[in-house]
Amino acid sequence: MDLELQGKVAVITGGSVGIGLAVAEGLAREGVHLALCARNEERVQARAGEIAQKYGVKAIGVQANVAQPGDVDRFVATVEAEFDAGVDILINNAGTGSEETIMDASDERWQYYWDLHVMAAVRLSRGLVPLMRKRGGGAIINNASICASQPLYYEPIYNTTKAALVMFSKCLANELVGDNIRVNTINPGLVLTPDWMKTATLLTENEPTTPEEYLDKIAKDNAPIGRFATPEEVADFFVFLCSPRASYCIGSTYYVDGGWLKVIT
Q: Which residues are catalytic?
A: 158
Contact 228, 257 (CB under 8 A): no
List of residues 6+ apart from 3 with CB closer than 8 A: 30, 239, 240, 242, 243, 244, 245
Q: How far apart are CA 70 and CA 125, in angstroms?
A: 15
- Strands (E) in the chain, as ranges, are 9-13, 33-38, 59-63, 89-92, 138-143, 181-188, 253-256
Of 193, 261, 264, 185, nearest to 233 by C-alpha is 193
CA-based end-to-end distance of the chain: 29
Strand ranges (DSSP E) for 125-245?
A: 138-143, 181-188
